[in-house]
Amino acid sequence: MKNILFILVYLSISFTVNCYAQTRYYCYDAAGNRIAKNTASTYCGSIGGIGKTEGDELIQEEMASHTDPGTIFPNPNTGIFTIDFVEDIPSRRIYLYDLNGKLLKEENISGIHKQVEMHDIPSGTYLLILRDESGRQIWDWKVIKL
């Protein structure tokens, strides 16, 4: 009975082995703004036994080159930077986080130009996130204060 149970468990495992991997690559311009994102996903499944993955690969690539909603300059900055948006979208918010995930600043944005002051924040690298009115993340930037 133990042998039959072991064989059934082995066969069920060998027919259902799957793997999935995803790798993301980012490209930045000289100012530190992300200008491209490349995502490569790989799926491999096992049919008939462990290790048999031939013909089961699915590779998907996504390029989001130059689709950012605006640019930040100067970056790095000394306490103040400007965001220039490509188009005027009403009702946006920016959130400035440190690398530990602590929210440091939150502001509403309207128009296509926004100056953000960081004089009260110490030097370092920060993450600026742009969200729409529903709270959905639109974009993020790396911001460096000297």
Query: What's the confidence (pLDDT) of residue 121?
Result: 94
- Residue 60's pLDDT is what? 40
In this structure, the answer to whether residues 121 and 77 fall within a common structural domain is yes
Give the domain extent around 46. 2-63
The reported pTM is 0.56
Cβ partners under 8 Å of residue 123, min gap 6:
145, 146
- For tokens 């490349």, the residue is 38
DSSP H or E run through 10 = helix 2-14
Q: What's the one-letter identity of residue 5?
A: L
Domain with residue 79: its CATH number is 2.60.40.1220
Q: Do 59 and 118 reside in the same domain of the chain?
A: no
Q: What's the structural domain count of the chain?
A: 2
Q: Where are the beta strands (DSSP E) in the chain?
A: 18-28, 34-45, 58-63, 70-73, 80-85, 92-98, 103-109, 113-117, 124-131, 137-145
Both 83 and 134 in one domain: the answer is yes
Please give the chain's pLDDT, 146 residues, in tens.
Answer: 555 545 544 555 444 445 556 666 677 776 777 777 666 666 555 444 444 444 444 444 444 444 678 889 999 999 999 999 888 877 789 999 999 999 999 999 888 888 999 999 999 999 999 998 888 888 889 999 99
In this structure, the answer to whether residues 78 and 113 fall within a common structural domain is: yes
Tokens of 120: 């009260």
Of 67, 59, 75, 58, which is closest to residue 142 (Cα–Cα)?
75
